[in-house]
Amino acid sequence: MIAAKATAQITQLCTFFVAARLLAPTEFGLFAFISAIAILCVVLAEGGWAEFIMKSGDDRDRFDQVATIALLSGLFFTMLGVGASAALYLWTERFWESALLALFSCWILPAAVSTVYDGTLVVRGQLRQQACIRILAEVVGVGATISGLLLGWHAAALVVGRIAIQMMVLMGSAWTVGWRPRLFISRSVVKDVFEFSRHIVANRIIVFLSSYSGTLAVGSFLGVTEAGYYRAAERIVSAISEFLGEPTRALGWIVFRRARDRQAKHQDNSVAEASGRFLTVLLVVASPIYLGLMQVSGALVYFVLGEQWMPAALIVSVLCLKQLLLLPGYISEPLLSVMGNVSKRLPVTLLNVFVSLSLIVALAPFGLLPLAVGQCVSAAFALTTSVRLQIRFGGVDWRSVMKNIAILIAPAASAMVAVVVVLHGKLEVPSIPLMSTFLLQVVIGAAVYCSIFLLLARWTGRVKLARQGELSL
């Protein structure tokens, strides 16, 4: 499963970089805007069918009925997308935009049906087969996308790649499960499915709004070109966030569950100590990455995406600050879950999303930079709510975390930023290639951060070997 997730990340980044090089910002922005609308339809069409199958077990009768519901929902939202594309063409006479939306609609039906097979594979414990199917699908998808881009299909190539991935997943899963659905449904199962799925859909809509509201707002208020710049900046920063987020949550479940068991056995403060150490290590690792990217965002955007994407560089820097503020929230779900207080998280999440959406709607008409700064403000608000949750319901010792930040992280990070800024001023001369400047900033900045951190850790004695030889702060 880790290999499948890594493959998906690598192929998606490859697709993004190639598309940004071959497409103009306007084309990429149009794709990002219509993609957000299509993803909302997919979220609604998938409806939590996989989760219902996983809850119900490996039952052929339930499989047939849930698959029937998935087919109906997929067909409904596919027809809705095709109808919307026809209405868009009749209203605006924009053929290309309408055709792209119609092509995206072809993705919805296989996505809805695939979830039923995915849930069945999980119930059967066939995770290895599921991972192999996803790896193969991602490889086929990136091949189809890049081939289409090189053949001049423009943004349509990105949609074809997504459809190819989904069809490969559907065919591979159906072949592995070995069942073709018999179409019938009963009233009792429909009632059970929709009663269960509404909670899943509500949670996914919250996640969707958090991820795509900025792109939709920029595209609506400022146009698709600005939406392309904003989405490109988000994608660069989210590549790091996803790289850090998935391992953090997975490790969090293990660390906090073990700490809870030790605390129950020994009646000590194991959870508070473990969460404090975990947060400190997370900030030690992630802070220099985001702060460093803030300093070299211009060079990175220039090398990776090209000169036409340079307006996105400043947005990358601001969004790095946003993600840095959101870092502590990564542990909230596993921590509150193992402590039996996960229900306390939903109202806070809804409040954070409401604040974020309000700032997006209020600031998007004024430009990309005010919008990005507003997202930093909403992230700072989310940080305060996360800290309160973690202290009250997770037992996190934030005083200890703040001491570690002040003593270990802040001095090392400040020195790194100062050195990178000085290097940028000293090395920005025509005789030194931009790539050499970029690499020197990255290497020397990382060396300065690591050296000062280790010196401070040794001098203060705040790093020591803990249980089972773990590195602990």
pLDDT score at 45: 92
Please tell me whether residues 140 and 230 are part of one structural domain: no
215, 235, 267: which is the final residue of a domain?
A: 215
Q: Are residues 35 and 157 in the same domain?
A: yes
d(CA 135, CA 320): 30
- 47 with 70, same domain? yes
**Could you please report the per-residue DSSP string of 163-224?**
HHHHHHHHHHHHHHH---------HHHHHHHHHHHHHHHHHHHHHHHHHHHHHHHHHHHT-H
The answer to whether 306 touches 20, Cβ cutoff 8 Å, is: yes
In this prediction, residue 470 carries a pLDDT of 41
323 and 391 in a single domain? The answer is yes
Point out the domain boundary residue: 184, 215, 246. Answer: 215
Segment holding 471, helix H or strand E: strand 471-472
Q: Which residues contact 430 (CB under 8 A, 6 or more apart)?
A: none
Are 209 and 71 in the same domain?
A: yes
267 lies in the same domain as 172: no
Nearest Cα neighbor of 49 from 246, 189, 183 is: 189
What contacts 331, CB < 8 A, 6 or more positions away? 248, 249, 252, 256, 275, 278, 279, 282, 390
Q: Are residues 184 and 205 in the same domain?
A: yes
What is the reported pLDDT for 463?
A: 55
Give rounded-to-5 percent helix, strand, coil for the chain: 85, 0, 10
Q: What angle do CA 331, 335, 337 make, to 5 degrees?
A: 125
Q: What is the pLDDT of residue 355?
A: 92
In a domain, 242, yes or no: yes
Measured CA to CA, the distance from residue 303 to residue 423 in angstroms comes to 19
Q: Which two tokens stand for residue 118?
A: 């995915």
Spatial CA neighbour of 193 closest among 385, 379, 348, 50: 50
Residue 232 Cα to chain centre, angstroms: 14
* Positions in the chain short of pLDDT 70: 427-433, 461-473
Q: Are 206 and 151 in contact (CB under 8 A)?
A: no
**Looking at the domain assignment, is residue 452 inside a domain?**
no
Gap between the Cα atoms of 306 and 404, Å rounded? 39
Residue 309 CB: number of other CB atoms within 10 A?
22
Does residue 314 sit within a domain?
Answer: yes
Asked if residue 88 lies in contact with residue 94, where contact means CB atoms within 8 angstroms, the answer is yes
Q: Are residues 185 and 229 part of one domain?
A: no
Residue 270 belongs to what domain range?
A: 224-396
Structural domain ending residue among the three candidates 351, 370, 396: 396
The answer to whether residue 437 sits within a structural domain is no
Do residues 173 and 117 make contact, with C-beta atoms less than 8 angstroms apart? yes
340-345 contacts: CB < 8 A, separation 24 or more?
341/393, 341/394, 344/389, 344/393, 345/389
Cα-trace Rg, the chain = 24
Q: What pLDDT is stored for residue 451 in this prediction?
A: 93
- Whether residue 463 lies inside any domain: the answer is no
Separation of alpha carbons 420 and 362, rounded Å: 35
Give the pTM.
0.80
234/211 same-domain check: no
Give yes or no: residues 194 and 235 share one domain: no
Report which of 380, 344, 345 is spatially closest to residue 359, judged by C-alpha positions.
380
Residue 336 belongs to a domain: yes
What is the reported pLDDT for 428? Answer: 64
Instruction: Please report the pLDDT score of residue 394 as a whole number.
Output: 82
Is 122 among the domain residues? yes
Q: What are the DSSP calls for 316-347, one per residue?
A: HHHHHHHHHHHGGGGGHHHHHHHTT-GGGHHH
pLDDT recorded at residue 18: 87
Q: Domain tally for the chain?
A: 2
pLDDT score, position 432: 62
Residue 454 falls inside a structural domain? no
Tell me how far apart the alpha carbons of residues 197 and 195 are, in angstroms, rounded to a whole number: 6
- Same-domain check for residues 106 and 163: yes
pLDDT at 59: 75
CA distances from residue 404 to 280, 283, 284, 384, 457 in whole angstroms, order as listed? 7, 10, 9, 18, 9
Please identify which residue in the block is written with the tokens 């490889």.
139
Asked if 244 and 365 count as a contact pair (C-beta separation under 8 A), the reply is no
- Tell me what pLDDT residue 429 has: 56
Determine the distance from the C-alpha atom of residue 364 to the mean position of all C-alpha atoms in its chain, rounded to a whole number: 21
pLDDT in tens, 75-98: 999 999 999 999 988 887 788 889
79, 87 in Cβ contact below 8 A? no
